[in-house]
Amino acid sequence: MAEEKQGWTPLLFLICVTITIGTVIPIGYCFGVVNAPSAFIRQWASESVSKRYSKDLTSSQLTLLMAFVVSMFQVGGIVGSFVASMFNNKLGRKGSLLVSGILFLISSLCQWICRPLNLVELLLLGRLVAGFASGLVYSTQPMYLVELAPAELSGSVGVFTCIGITGGIVLGQIFSFDFTLGTDGLWHFALAAFGLFVLIGMVPACFFPESPRYLFSKGNVDRTKASLMRLRSTSERAERELAEMEATPNVERVSMCAVIKNGKLTMPLILVCGFHSVQQFSGISVIWYYSVGIFTDAGFSLTVALWLNFGEGMLNLCVALLGPLLMGRFNRRTLMMTSCFFSGVFLALLSIGLKFVSQVVAMLCIGFLSMYIISFNFGLASIPYFIGSELFEVPPRAAAMALGSLFNWLTNFIGSMAFPVAQASVGSFAFMPCAIVCILGFLLTFIYLPETRNREPKDVAPLLEHGFKSKIKEKK
């Protein structure tokens, strides 16, 4: 008799929604909120430095200071990714997320009071702390949700990371409009408002169960069973999953260095880190950083460009909301290859279209950008965040997810720094390398990614243990 499928339970759905609100939406918010009020922040920073240090910054120095304001978030993310594995192993998945919530609140407070106290340093510190918390979340939140869910829902819960980031970007755009908080007198409230989402999401999280797999790896069988009984719709399913855990040898957790040195884990690690790198080098970050400039380059006025930017953000969120349905019905390989291939195609078309600006071509460029966003959300937007939980068994999982998060932040930082230089050199053709990276992602998926949908990591791991010589199809 076929094994009974475990559907959504009210508690599992509540956990996915509230954890996403409290930990992931703040990340997207921090990405999306800075652009609109940047002129006000720049002016305040100049006046603040002048008053406190009796020094007038030159235009280039002020530009460098604003670059630090933006990049502190990414620097914090890189540092947070380095230590995420340690936090996960010591504090557990839930504990690490609660720590990230506290750090987000500290960051929100710093960004709120930086203007009343006239301290640019507090703004920089707030962005740095928010980035550190985000590094923890990137490594922990997808792993926590996947380990709470039954195997058949792993993809559906995994896309909540993508939904939270896209939703946070839209909320950041809304809060930073000049008719909300994005004004000369209120911009610091706009920067700090994500603290409200942290409180809404993290207060209920105190009462959620810890990951059953984490508890079992610590030898706490009673708490593991109690957690499964809360999460599963039937006690029979909970007991069956517990029996499966007990039948699997409990191996000590491994460090990042041990994961990197283990030849059998080389290909899964390349896939995790490679997918994160493809996601960021595919152009999505630079599009959100510089989308207003892209629209103005296409011939639109600044006001129209701002609203088009918001419209593309809404499109991004709407397509991301289809993620649970897509992951539940289609294979990971199919979605990832489709996403990479068409993202590359539409980026190439956008690059060419921006080179030949006219009224008709400008409308085509909007269409190319919209199709790129839709294609990106088919797989590239979400699969990199949770694929590590489907490729790695529990012992090396935390370290592998942390390494994937580290590559995400590093490539985000490199891409955002390199794109303006490339754009100044070759104009719109700066998107061509992004298109090539998408095609490389397609090839990586086609050659080396085994299908992981509805499969346990212990069944997938043997297919990848021979590195580049791995055969992803099982022998009959």
Cα distance between residue 122 and residue 115, in whole Å: 9
Cα distance between residue 181 and residue 193, in whole Å: 9
pLDDT at residue 244 greater than cutoff 50: yes
Cα distance between residue 22 and residue 204, in whole Å: 10
Domain pair 12-208 / 254-470, same fold: yes
pLDDT tens string 395-405: 888 889 889 99
Cα distance between residue 226 and residue 239, in whole Å: 10
Q: In CATH, what number does 254-470 get?
A: 1.20.1250.20
Q: According to the model, what pLDDT value does residue 1 have?
A: 39
Token couple for 95: 């504990």
User: Could you say which architecture CATH assigns to the domain 12-208?
Assistant: Up-down Bundle (1.20)
Delimit the domains of the chain by residue range. 12-208, 254-470
Task: Work out the number of other CB atoms within 10 angstroms of the CB of residue 145.
Answer: 27
pLDDT tens string 286-329: 777 667 767 776 677 777 877 888 888 899 999 999 988 898 88
The fraction of the chain above a pLDDT of 70, given in percent, is: 95
More confident residue, 316 or 104: 104
Token couple for 76: 């914090």
Cα distance between residue 279 and residue 272, in whole Å: 11
